Amino acid sequence: MDFRDNDQERAFRAEVAGFLDAELPSWVAERPGEWGLFNAAGRNAPEFMGWYREWTAKLNTHGWGAPAWPKEHGGGGLSVKEQFILSEEFAWRRAPRPGGIGHGWAGPTIMVYGSEEQKREYLPKIISGEHNWCQLFSEPGAGSDLASLQTRAIRDGDDYVVNGQKIWTSGAHHSQMGILIARTSPDAPKHRGISYFLVDMKTPGITIRPLVNMLNSHEFNEVYFEDARIPAKQLLGEENRGWYLATTTLDFERSGIATSVSHQLIARDLVQFAKDSPVGKTTMANRKSLRLELADRILEAQVESLICYRIISMQERGEIPNKESSIAKLFSSELDVRLAVTGMHLAGMHAQTTDRDDTLAMGGKLARFYMHSTTAPIGGGTSEIQRNIIAMRGLGLPRG
C-alpha cells in the first residue's frame, strides 16, 4: 500500500478541501445527527432539504454527485484513489453527499447491462435526484439464501405479470423506482430462471406497507406484488439471467466500503465525552477498564482504515477485492456494534433514553445508535456469510 498522494492526487485533495471551505455552511456540518443512521435528525426539515437540492446541483457541476460514473453518463470519471479522497474529505467534514441505491447499485448495474434506451431513460434521473431507488431482493423465505426467492414474473404479451412479496425494502415508501429480481422460469435450478427488472413503484398492483423498527423509525417496508404488470422493456439484460446481474449489484454494494472516518469520529466523540461530561468523568473514575476499552475502539477504527486502504490499493492496480471486501464488511459492521456497546458502558444508566434532547448524555443518541448497530452484521450480507467467504476464498477451506 502507498499511503502518500502523488502530485495529481494532492492537488485534487486541495481542490475538494477548497470547495468544502467555500460551499459547506457551518450549520450543516454541525447539525445534530445520528451515528450510523442515514436519516440524520432534522434531515427532512424544509430548510435542510431546500439547501440540499442546491448542494446536489453544485456537486453535479463537478461530477461529484456520482464520482465513479463515466463522464458520458454525468459522473466524474474519477480514479479509484480520487473517489477515496473525495469520500474521505467529505466524511471528515461531515458533508452530505448524494448516494444510496440509485447512485451506488442500480445505476452502475444499468451501465453494465442496460440497453442504450434504458441508460438514456434512467441514468440522468439518478444523477439529478429526480428518481430515488429501492432494492427489491430479499423475501420472507429468501434472505441470505437469496436464490430461493419465490416472487414470480410471467410473460404476458408486452408485459410481465408479477406476484409475490419482498421484505426489508429500505426507502420503498419514498422511491420512484426499484430494482427487482423475480423468478421467470420456476422449473429451472434456483440460481437460474431469475430475471432482473427496473420497476416503477407507482405501478398498479404494488402495495407498500411500513415496517417500524424498535427505534420507532420507518425505514424498512414490505412490498407486495399482486398482478402488477411490468413492461417487458423494463427487463434488464437477458431473461432468466438475472442472478448474474444481481450478484453484480451485490458486488457494487459490498465493494462500496465506507472509509473508517465515521468510526474514527465516533471514537473521538466518545473520548471527548469521557473527558468533558460529568457523566463520562464519573463513569471513567468508577470503571477504570473503560480507558482500555476506549483505547481498543480507537485502535480498531485505525485498523479499519488500513483494511480500507488495502482495498483501494488493490482497485488502483486493477485487482478485484473479493475476500478483502468481506474482511472489510465483517470488521466494519462488528466494530459498529462494539462502538455502540462502549458508548453504553460509558454513559451507564444515562444511555438508556432514546429522546432527542441536548441536555441528555450525548444528546440521547447512544441508545439509538446501540439499537441501530444491531442491524450492521445483518444488512449487506450477514457476518456468517462473510466468514464463509473468507474461509473458502481466503483460506481455501472446504465448504461446510
Query: Which residues, in sequence order, are CB contacts of 278 under 8 Å at separation 6+?
Result: none
Angle formed at CA 104 by CA 254 and CA 267, multiple of 5 degrees: 60
- Residue 282 CB neighbours (<10 A): 12
Query: Given the C-alpha cell 444528546, which residue does it identify?
Result: 363
Helix axis angle, 46-62 relative to 7-23, nearest 10°? 150
Q: Which residues of 346-366 are buried (b: 16+ CB within 10 A; e: fewer)?
A: bbeebbebbeeeeebbbbbbb
Q: Which of the residues 89, 253, 304, 324 is marked catalytic?
A: 253
243 neighbors 192 (Cβ within 8 angstroms): yes
Helix residue ranges per DSSP H, the chain? 7-23, 26-29, 46-62, 80-92, 101, 107-113, 116-128, 242-255, 261-276, 278-286, 289-316, 323-347, 365-373, 383-389
Q: Which residues of 261-273 are buried (b: 16+ CB within 10 A; e: fewer)?
A: bbbbebbeebbeb
- Residue 86 CB neighbours (<10 A): 23
For every residue of 310-352, DSSP letters joined together read HHHHHHHTT---SHHHHHHHHHHHHHHHHHHHHHHHHHGGGGG
Q: How far apart are CA 253 and CA 121, in angstroms?
A: 23
217 neighbors 188 (Cβ within 8 angstroms): no
Distances from the Cα of 75 to the Cαs of 14, 111, 137, in angstroms?
20, 12, 26
Give, as one character, the DSSP assignment of residue 104: I
Query: Given the C-alpha cell 423494463, which residue does it identify?
Result: 234
Does the active-site annotation cover 253?
Answer: yes
The residues annotated as belonging to the active site are 253
